[in-house]
Amino acid sequence: MSDKSTIWSEIKKLVVVFPYRSEENYKEYRSALDKLLNKSNVKEVKLIVVIPETLNRDTLRPHVLIHFLSPKDMNFLGKIKDKYLKTILSEKYEALLWLEVEDKKIAKILSPLRAKWKIGVNTSFDFFSIQVNSNSNNPSEIVNFAQNILEKIS
């Protein structure tokens, strides 16, 4: 990190949304995010992992910082059933980092999240203040790409 004030250096409270594609992909995202956050100014982070409707969340290891979200977590009116997710959505953040998630139901639920900066990487939704595309689909490269972008913007 440099001494220059950038978006990345100013983020203290962060929400990261990324997809669960496989156990290996999930572990790669977790590892890349751990490395990124360990060398950041972020003091509070929430990770929302978007899982397919067909995946049984009971097979996933629980973690205090990670919330698994599926389109099944909404009722027939499109309202969130999960109390913890409601709490996440009620708070304010410096940034929302949205990585590769293309689920419209999830976007509808999470787009109102209150964040000073909403950063979308490899996504087509239009509610981001910063939207960029990486040429990679490797979790580590995507996370590093997002950090590099945010370190360049002051």
Domain that holds residue 82: 7-152
Q: What distance, in Å, lies between the first and last C-alpha atoms of the chain?
A: 13
**How, if at all, do strands 114-121 and 92-99 pair?**
parallel
Within a domain: residue 92? yes
The residues pairing with 14 across neighbouring beta strands, listed in sequence order, are 45, 95
Closest CA to 95 of 32, 139, 51, 36: 36
pLDDT of 45 higher than 90: yes
pLDDT of 2 higher than 50: no
Within a domain: residue 2? no
Is the model's pTM score more than 0.85?
yes
Within a domain: residue 132? yes
pLDDT classification of 3: cutoffs 50, 70, 90: low
Within a domain: residue 124? yes
Are the C-beta atoms of 7 and 40 separated by less than 8 Å? no
Average model confidence (pLDDT) across the chain: 91
Cα distances (angstroms) measured from residue 32 to each of 40, 80, 93, 143, 147: 13, 29, 21, 6, 11
Both tokens assigned to 59: 């097979």
Within a domain: residue 126? yes
Number of domains in the chain: 1
Are the C-beta atoms of 86 and 68 separated by less than 8 Å? no
What percentage of the chain has pLDDT greater than the value 70? Answer: 98
Distance CA 39, CA 133 (A): 23
Distance CA 48, CA 34 (A): 14
CATH number for 55: 3.40.50
